[in-house]
Amino acid sequence: MTLDIVQMVLVTVLTAATPLILAAIGELVAERSGVLNLGTEGMMVLGAAAGFAVATETGSTLAGALGGAGAGLALSGLFAILTVGLAANQVASGLALTILGLGLSGLVGTGYVGMKRDPAPHLHLAGLSDLPLVGDLLFGQDAFVYVAVALVLGVWWFLGRSRAGLVLRAIGDDHTATHALGLPVRKVRVLAVLFGGACAGLAGAYLSLAYTPFWSPGMTAGRGWIALALVVFASWRPLRVAAGALLFGGATVLQLHAQAAGLGLPGQALSALPYVATILALVLLSLGRRQGGSLAPAALGREFTPHR
Amino acid sequence: MRLDLSPRARRSAVLSALSPVIAFAGAVLVGGIAVALLGVAPGAAFTTYFVIPLSEVWSLQEVALKAAPLALVATGLAFCFRASLWNIGAEGQFVVGGLAGGWIGVATQGAEGFTAWILPTMLAAGTLAGLAYAMIPALLKVRLGVSEILTSLMLVYVAELLLDYMARGPLRDPAGFNFPQSVPFDPAARLPYLMEGDTLHAGVLIALAAVIVATLVLARTLFGFEVRVVGAAPRAARFAGFSDARLTLAVFAISGAAAGLAGICEVAGKIGQLQPTISPGYGFTAIIVAFLGRLSPPGILVAAGVIALTTIGGESAQIDLKLPLDLTRAFQGLLLAFVLGADVLARYRVRLVPGGPRRTA
Amino acid sequence: MLGVSTLGTSTTMRTITGAILAALLLAPAARADDKLKVGFVYVGPVADYGYSYQHDLSRKALEAAMPGKVETMFLESVPEADSERSIEKLARSGAKLIFTTSFGFMEPTLKVAKKFPTVKFEHATGYKRSANVSTYSARFYEGRYVCGKIAGTLSKSGTVGYIASFPIPEVVSGINAFMLGAQSVNPNVKLKIVWVNTWFDPGKEAEAAKALLAQGADILTQHTDSAAPLQEAEKAGKLAFGQSSDQFRFAPKAQLTSITDDWDGYVIGEAKAVLDGSWKSHDTWGGIKDGMVVLAPFTNMPDNVKAMAEETKAGIASGKVHPFAGPVTKQDGTVAVKAGEDAPDPMILGMNWYVKGIDDKLPQ
């Protein structure tokens, strides 16, 4: 019985962390290439609306997921044109994207108010999914969860082990030098931004197709911002993004469990817990290492224009 | 085809002035098409959006009222952003400022006799609270190298929850049936109104004064010079002996103080009591305003006015033309994107060059 | 200087043309004076399928009920901290009757009402009135008492989960009424409460639902707006109550009933009163009897439970049953309502204590 509760808690933490992981891992790639896109919330919220709309029209959750990712990708394409193509300020462009995404999501979603879908199907492997403690956790989730895990591992491999990943990181650290070496700075950055957009859109689609399978305005409720913070929290490292998302999701879920168990602290204090915990964790990590300059990609947020 | 940008030695003054106009025209064109698709005459939409709000004394006051906190917060943020420090948490500093100053307003409710000290004390408390709250990410950054983006953003949520707790708990009106708001402040704790109709309050003047002071500080003082140099050429600044830590603390202090002051002005001006939320996102919108205004205080003033105008025009459009609020939001986002994109014209010579990406090796 | 003056003239010309254009475009609106214009200010988006959506249904019902006589307009997602302008904007746009539908609009409504003495204002869920400001609200707790009885009867584990938004009297009285209803059929029933500090965040509501289910609750109820908790209950094969609108389609196997607000009758009645000149400032607190609190059809329960629920509902409507009929004991053991008495309205309106048997500590 208690094992069941532990597993239920773990599953809740994992699924609460999934949208954060999806959005953050995409943003991480964009930031590693030197582009700071603060528009995650906007791309996510549009992905939720577009994903639900496409899934409802086609009757296919897969098409919906792709539609959500596509919407995020399209919006990030606009961002790429602005910041990479026209060297516009990245912070401001990202915030503009957030506003645009919120507006567009309302326009897209307004025809789907009060509709529901069946949640995305969950994996079930006879035997394995019924194992105690870990069965459901490891073998009973929906595809989004596994995609999120695969993306984290894939990005980890790509950035750390592949040549293309090395190029991307080099560009994020010094666009002038890499440009002088003949590396396609702008092309790589556009691709990285588009990848980030698709991931954010997918994260939104996860919310409207799997997590709470209906559409409602503003249903991301700030998760895009948390994803942004997690990238910083993770010092731009893929595996730590997953760890950070699990920490944040865990703190959220645990405070709800603490309340259900009758802890009796003010709800506001408990709701603040995930944010405070994230700050504290980062402070502790900072205390642990010698001060050695910033961990951020050196060219992050700076405009780049190729010229003589 | 390839887009080639080469920086101009100096910003082109003509194009600097012209690029927002071009952007505006572009956004209005796209917006007009969208409006027409929704079955509304684009001309009517344009009038409702941009002409009517500017044609009445009342709505002009409302534009000023909405622009004031944006301009004040954005002016403070301009110092941070110029020094390449990312204070994303002005919203939290705004809330804490409103809470601290408002607390005095609640505590002094019903005070008799000499009450002229109350309002200045509230303003000072709000300013200091915002400043102190901004010191948390600043000190963590200076002492431990913790990213200010993360800490300042996370502290926004903490501030909002703190205000929520105070307004629902300790500071709520005891005679208010346990509803979540404080007692209304006494007149001595309110910013005075400037015009008949009780709309425009003195907070607008405070914002205006702050913009002027900031303009002078940036242009005429050594400190302003320091901020500009650090932003433009960090290495040169280090050679010149400017201290990173001191500057970080200083610009965070300025932006926090400005946000806190804006917060208490909103509470003592428009709202007149404490309630669970006091900001419709001014701290975040101000980030856009700061960049739209190109991080210069006078530019920020204009940008704040434009944002305020589109918000108020959007309400007119909802009422008169039944255009959804989401369309207004989307248009705002689009307008911002156009303005940011068009700015390239002022900063670079733009050429379309045939052929693929050029390789320099 | 020719150039300058030409420029000046053309600008003036453009302004004049603009003004004429504006006048032409606005003319139709200005002529519709004979219609009563009714404005609505919503705190959320009309697409929320919850509180604001439900209010907007009544706006549409008003237009349908009085064609040609009324014209409606609304502003959605109006932040409570920035609502004064929105309310005044409606008054300036010619609205003669304005519904401000959230508690946080109270002070701004009063302030604008002072400036526009000929405009009638209707403020939902507040307690301050003036010559041209009425207040109205619904006795949601009546519906929650019925739900409590159903839950107390049906819960096998004896533990019911409650997802609450903010500790305001309306929510607290709802929790108490629910608990009293549940205790009336099962004195040992346990209520687990989770405060999510939001009216609307599907993700967080779902997480709260999961937490409650994991801790042994087999029936969920909520005072938040999204259908997420219902869906979680459906997924887990448990039962739940809907909120704000009939959410049966989200959880056909889980929804027992849903407490919905129906403002149609009230809104139409007030508009009629303005039109025939009989409108007066007043306070309305309507319940099941007035059709303001409506329970969606009772589903997913045995017939005898359904009959009991119907009977309780009828009893509340007729006044025979009062959710807060004495004796009511507070959590700390003191008597709130003596035997043989009913809780007076002001006590329910300002309720900030739990009844005995609730383990949670009320956030103060």
Whether the bond into C363 is cis, omega within 30 of 0? no
Beta bridge partners of C163: C194, C222
Residue B343 lies in a domain: no
Q: How far apart are CA A35 and CA A300, in angstroms?
A: 6
Query: Which residue is associated with the tokens 């994207």?
Result: A97
Q: How far is CA A208 from CA A67, A70, A178, A201, A223, in A?
A: 12, 15, 41, 11, 13
Residue B297 lies in a domain: yes
For residues C92, C93, C96, C99, the Cα torsion angle rounded to the nearest 10 degrees is -90
Q: What are phi and psi of C148, to 5 degrees?
A: -60, -40
* Selected residues 322-361 of chain B with any CB under 8 Å from a CB in chain C: 322, 324-325
* Selected residues 270-309 of chain B with any CB under 8 Å from a CB in chain A: 284, 287-288, 290-292
Q: Judging by DSSP bridges, how do beta strands C283-286 and C133-138 pair with one another?
A: parallel
Written as six digits, the tokens of A2 are: 């208690």
For residue B245, what is the domain's CATH number?
1.10.3470
Residue B342 lies in a domain: no
Q: Is the Cβ–Cβ distance between C167 and C154 less than 8 Å?
A: no
Q: How far is CA B87 from CA A201, A307, B90, B250, B284, in A?
A: 26, 31, 7, 12, 10
At C351 the three-state DSSP class reads coil
Count of domains in chain B? 1
pLDDT averaged over chain C? Answer: 89
Q: Give the model's pLDDT for residue C10.
A: 40
Q: Give the model's pLDDT for residue C24.
A: 42
Least confident range from A120-129, C44-53, C137-146: namely A120-129
Does the beta-carbon distance from C166 to B272 stay under 8 Å? Answer: no
Q: Give the model's pLDDT for residue C28.
A: 42
Is the pLDDT higher at C315 or at A288? C315
Q: Is the Cβ–Cβ distance between C89 and C75 less than 8 Å?
A: yes
Q: Give the model's pLDDT for residue B359.
A: 45
Handedness of CA B68, B69, B72, B78 (dihedral sign): negative
Does the beta-carbon distance from B158 to A276 stay under 8 Å? Answer: yes
- pLDDT of residue C21 exceeding 60, the answer is no
Chain B partners of A217 at a C-beta cutoff of 8 Å?
326
Q: Give the model's pLDDT for residue C6.
A: 34
At B89 the three-state DSSP class reads coil
Is the pLDDT higher at A303 or at B303? B303
Q: pTM for this structure?
A: 0.91
What value does the mean pLDDT take over residues C57-83?
A: 94
Does the beta-carbon distance from B315 to C167 stay under 8 Å? Answer: no
Q: Which one-letter amino acid corresponds to residue B305?
A: G
Q: Is the Cβ–Cβ distance between C197 and C137 less than 8 Å?
A: no
Closest CA–CA distance from residue C300 to any residue of chain B (Å): 36
Q: How far apart are CA C141 and CA C160, in angstroms?
A: 17
> From the candidates A37, A105, A275, which should be mutated to test the interface with B, based on the most B CB atoms within 10 A?
A275
Least confident range from C28-42, C142-156, C272-286: namely C28-42
Size of interface A-C (CB pairs under 8 A): 119
Chain C partners of B310 at a C-beta cutoff of 8 Å?
none
pLDDT band at C22 (very low <50, low <70, confident <90, very high): very low
Q: Give the model's pLDDT for residue A278.
A: 87
Calculate ∠ Cα B310-B315-B317, nearest 5°: 90
- Chain A touched by C210 (CB under 8 Å): yes
Residues 6+ apart with CB under 8 A from B220: none
Q: Give the model's pLDDT for residue A308.
A: 41
Q: Is the Cβ–Cβ distance between C219 and C240 less than 8 Å?
A: yes
Find, among A105, C86, C97, C23, the residue nearest to B315 by Cα.
C86
Residue B341 lies in a domain: no
Does the beta-carbon distance from A266 to B169 stay under 8 Å? Answer: yes
pLDDT averaged over chain B? Answer: 90
Q: Which partners does chain A have (≥3 C-beta pairs < 8 Å)? A: B, C
Calculate ∠ Cα C157-C160-C163, nearest 5°: 150
Find, among C86, C90, C89, the residue nearest to C72 by Cα.
C90
Give the residue numbers spanning the domain of A162. Answer: 2-288
Q: What are phi and psi of C36, to 5 degrees?
A: -80, 125
Give the residue numbers spanning the domain of B58. Answer: 39-323
ipTM of the shown complex: 0.91
Residue A177 lies in a domain: yes
- Chain A touched by B150 (CB under 8 Å): yes
- Chain C touched by B273 (CB under 8 Å): yes
Name the percent of chain C lying above pLDDT 70: 90
Say which of B169, B184, B197 has its CB closest to residue C364: B169
Long-range contacts for C21-28 (Cβ within 8 Å, ≥24 apart)?
C21/B43, C21/B47, C22/B47, C22/B51, C22/B52, C22/B55, C25/B41, C25/B43, C25/B44, C25/B47, C26/B47, C26/B320
Handedness of CA A239, A244, A249, A255 (dihedral sign): positive
Residue of A nearest to C161 (CA): A260
pLDDT beneath 50, residues of chain B: 358-361
- Chain C touched by B157 (CB under 8 Å): no
Say which of C89, C107, C351 has its CB closest to residue B273: C107
Q: Give the model's pLDDT for residue C33.
A: 59
Q: Where are the beta strands (DSSP E) in chain B?
A: 2-7, 348-353
Residues 6+ apart with CB under 8 A from C135: C122, C123, C124, C125, C126, C127, C128, C129, C283, C284
* Selected residues 10-29 of chain B with any CB under 8 Å from a CB in chain C: none
Q: What is the pLDDT of residues A51-61, one digit of tens each?
A: 999 999 999 99
Q: Which one-letter amino acid corresponds to residue B285?
A: T
Q: How far apart are CA C116 and CA C96, in angstroms?
A: 9
Q: Give the model's pLDDT for residue A136.
A: 79
pLDDT band at C13 (very low <50, low <70, confident <90, very high): very low
* Selected residues 237-266 of chain A with any CB under 8 Å from a CB in chain C: 252-253, 256-257, 259-262, 264, 266
Q: Give the model's pLDDT for residue A54.
A: 97
Closest CA–CA distance from residue B269 to any residue of chain A (Å): 27
Burial class (CB in 10 A: 0-12, 13-18, 19+), C265: middle
Q: Where are the beta strands (DSSP E) in C17-126?
A: 36-41, 70-75, 97-100, 120-124
Q: How far apart are CA A171 and CA A21, in angstroms?
A: 24
- pLDDT of residue A6 exceeding 90, the answer is no
Does the beta-carbon distance from A106 to B157 stay under 8 Å? Answer: no
Residue A158 lies in a domain: yes
Closest CA–CA distance from residue A12 to any residue of chain C (Å): 7
Closest CA–CA distance from residue A81 to any residue of chain B (Å): 8
Size of interface A-B (CB pairs under 8 A): 171
Q: What is the pLDDT of residues C165-208, one digit of tens each?
A: 988 899 999 999 999 999 999 999 999 999 998 888 999 999 99
Residues 6+ apart with CB under 8 A from C297: C248, C257
Q: What is the pLDDT of residues B145-179, one digit of tens each?
A: 888 888 999 999 999 999 999 998 899 998 888 88
> From the candidates C14, C37, C85, which should be mutated to test the interface with B, based on the most B CB atoms within 10 A?
C85
Least confident range from A283-297, C47-61, C119-133, C146-160: namely A283-297
Is the pLDDT higher at C273 or at A176? C273
What value does the mean pLDDT take over residues A8-26?
A: 94
Count of domains in chain A? 1
Distance separating the N- and C-terminal Cα atoms of chain B: 20
Residue B316 lies in a domain: yes
**Angle separating helix axes C106-115 and C84-92, nearest 10 degrees:** 30
- Chain C touched by B174 (CB under 8 Å): no
For residue A86, what is the domain's CATH number?
1.10.3470
Closest CA–CA distance from residue C96 to any residue of chain B (Å): 14
Does the beta-carbon distance from A279 to B153 stay under 8 Å? Answer: no
Does the beta-carbon distance from C167 to A9 stay under 8 Å? Answer: no
Residue of C nearest to B197 (CA): C115
Size of interface B-C (CB pairs under 8 A): 105
Chain B partners of A294 at a C-beta cutoff of 8 Å?
145, 147
Please report which helix (H) or strand (E) contains residue C260, including its range: strand C255-261
Residue A159 lies in a domain: yes
Residue B346 lies in a domain: no
pLDDT band at A307 (very low <50, low <70, confident <90, very high): low
Beta bridge partners of C39: C73, C98
Residue B43 lies in a domain: yes
